[in-house]
Amino acid sequence: MKVGIYVRVSTLEQATEGYSIQEQTEKLKKFCDVKEWTVSDVYIDPGFSGSSLKRPGMQKLINDVEQQKIDAVLVYKLDRLSRSQKDTLYLIEDVFLKYNVHFVSLNENFDTSTPFGRASIGMMSVFAQLEREQITERMQMGKVGRAKAGYFHGGGVIPHGYDYKDGQLIPNEKEAKIINYIYDQYLDGWGAQSIAKSLNDKHISSKRATKWSHKIVTEILANNLYIGKITWKNETYDGAHEPIIDDNKYFRVQELMAKRKASATKTNQRPFRAKYMLAGITYCGVCGARMFTLKSYSIKQHKYIRKYGCYSQSTIEHMIKDPNCDNDKYDGPELEAYVLQRIKKLSMNSKTIKRINDQSTSLISTDGTKAQIKETEEQIERLLDLYQNGAITYSKIESRIDDLNATRETLDNQLKQLESEKLTNGSSKNILSILSTASEVVDSKNYEAQKRLVHALIQKITLKHDKVTIKWTF
């Protein structure tokens, strides 16, 4: 019998417990010698967790099983195969047994060529899953315990202003000065974006190896870690680390941030999510980046003018698609007026109205398809019940179950298509209602109503030099 040996180790600790690649391989080869089995190949996954099947050795093993290159799979211990109950049962039932390949675990003395072996595998995989969940729970409890004791959890990026040594946060004198600079500038009336630009202009590096941004500065200003606190899962504890911002400065900043936020909300008389009409739906046709609104003072016109420009031409690094983008900037009011007139023209187009009306009047039913899916699932369940009760062998029902699963997949796709058409059907009626009042809204000069109209009818607007392309929602 040709055997494929599978070995895996995920941590140094496992190696010290006798799970090393070499030890597993030697024991399994000796077992094969005793059984007079031929070792066809050894599949190795060093440093991979058992929580996922996305491992190179495992994928090669699965491929060789499907190519029927081996007759059996041998592992040192069940959890070397997988720590997931779902993945273990998938491998045994849907991969190994499907291709008449036995599975043998040396440590637990399991052999799927026997009914007892198959039953035992199922039970043991449950315990493997339980063990993993317990480990995860202990890790979470450990992080909670560290937070309660005042220690940083240690995951992710180390906070600006600190180094992380021996499990503790240690103030970084150079970075601490930057943190204080950020707080001081904010109290002097600077905004987060202005502070970020100032730091970038001075070529001061961010801990994240990226440029300073509005988001990074805002996070620093709101982080109570700088006054000696530790927050974990929305709970705050006294930290064991040294503060680098005094309480008075921190709380003055929090008060100022709250006032600025309240003031911005109060002065914004446009409660819709986006302040301007085309925000969120306009894209650059040159580089694909989003468009944003910007204001600049025109000396010639003696007033501020508003335009839509490409984010690639901005200083917001994570929004830039192509720093060499040469798209134009578009006069805001003119572009918005053009889009509104396109909507008005569309609302009076009889062919468009007829097409949408035809969609809304079509009758779509999913009941028949749902009934077929239910019947197919019941047939599969009946066959599996017969197999589990020992009334029939798996090989006799395998082909039929494959056919039924294929049928169910086809029916599922049909149902998704019908549901999509049904959704379109309902949406079409809503679109007709919106279009019936579109002309009135366009002429009303009610900016909020016009904005809602635009976002209800338009999915995307692409701007490329003098070309405006509109993608409708219907």
User: Following DSSP, what letter does each residue of 111-175 receive, concatenated?
Assistant: ETTSHHHHHHHHHHHHHHHHHHHHHHHHHHHHHHHHHHTT-----SSPPTTEEEETTEEEE-HHH
| Pairing of the two strands 458-464 and 282-284 | parallel
In this structure, what are the phi and psi dihedrals at residue 275, rounded to the nearest 5 degrees? -70, -40
Question: Six-digit token pair at 162?
Answer: 């600190």
Residue 439 near residue 348 (C-beta atoms within 8 A): yes
Strand arrangement of the beta sheet that strand 330-331 belongs to? 291-298, 303-310, 330-331
Catalytic residue among 10, 82, 125, 428: 10
Q: CA 79, CA 76: separation in Å to the nearest integer?
A: 9
Residue 68 near residue 99 (C-beta atoms within 8 A): yes
Residue 305 near residue 327 (C-beta atoms within 8 A): no
Place of tokens 């400065």: 249
Residue 129 near residue 83 (C-beta atoms within 8 A): yes
Neighbour-count burial for 362-376, b at 16+ CB within 10 Å, e otherwise: eeeebeebeebbeeb
Residue 239 near residue 228 (C-beta atoms within 8 A): yes
Amino acid type, 98:
K
Quote the distance between the C-alpha of residue 409 and its chain's center.
Answer: 26
Whether 427 is a known active-site residue: answer no
Q: How many CB atoms lie within 10 A of CB 398?
A: 14
Q: Which residues are catalytic?
A: 10
